[in-house]
Amino acid sequence: TSTSSRPKSIKNLIDNEIVQLKSDLDLLLTFNENLLHFDSSIVKKAAKTKVENFMKTLSNAIDTQAKVSKGRYCRESKLENLEAASNILNVTEDISRTLASTLDVGSSTCIKLANISMTVMKKQLSDNTVSEWEAGDIKVTLPDQSNIAQEDSSVTVSFTSYNNLGSLMTSNDDFMSPVLSVNVIKTHLHKRSIPLNKPIEF
């Protein structure tokens, strides 16, 4: 007898990739902390490479799932797709925090793939200045302000655009708008959101 094979769970696949990425990044940061005279730029490059490879796998998994969702498992997979998308957005914040820890004030790291773009930047807080980012048709401006700054008056922020993530977040398979994630990195942040005195502009 023949049996139809059910597509692999995208949530399980992504969760496994997230666990592996976090493990790899933790090892890199531990290595960096233990070798005080080690060239930090090597760790910065290695961390970026790990994240790039993770995002390539992520993008391929999303594209594959978008095709599967148009088939016989569409209704059954919608909830799982939404959970997978939520986990992706949550790990984006974790990734941003890790990449930020490899940066000096005045520097940034950028990742640009076919469907995913990410920039993490660290800068000194200044009056009447902004953090700007563009990816495709997306342009974001976040004004500098004291409530997003660290205790050392530095500002660390990440911008990430997922061009194909929307297909996991809606019942509309043809949803094409990119999903944007903006994260402010602070050492002591007890809430998931920060009230802005100067609003973000899109």
pLDDT, tens digit, for every residue of 6-30? Answer: 456 889 999 999 999 999 999 988 8
What distance in Å separates the CA atoms of residue 202 and residue 185, rounded to the nearest whole number? 20
Task: Fill in the amino acid letter for 175.
Answer: F
pLDDT, tens digit (0-9, with 9 covering 90-100), for 52-62: 999 999 999 99
Tell me, letter by letter, the H, E, C secondary structure of 96-133: HHHHHCCCCCCEEEEEECCCEEEEEEEEECCCCCEEEE
pTM of the model: 0.88
What are the phi and psi torsion angles at 13 (to 5°)? -60, -50
pLDDT beneath 70: ranges in the chain = 1-8, 35-38, 68-76, 171-175, 188-192
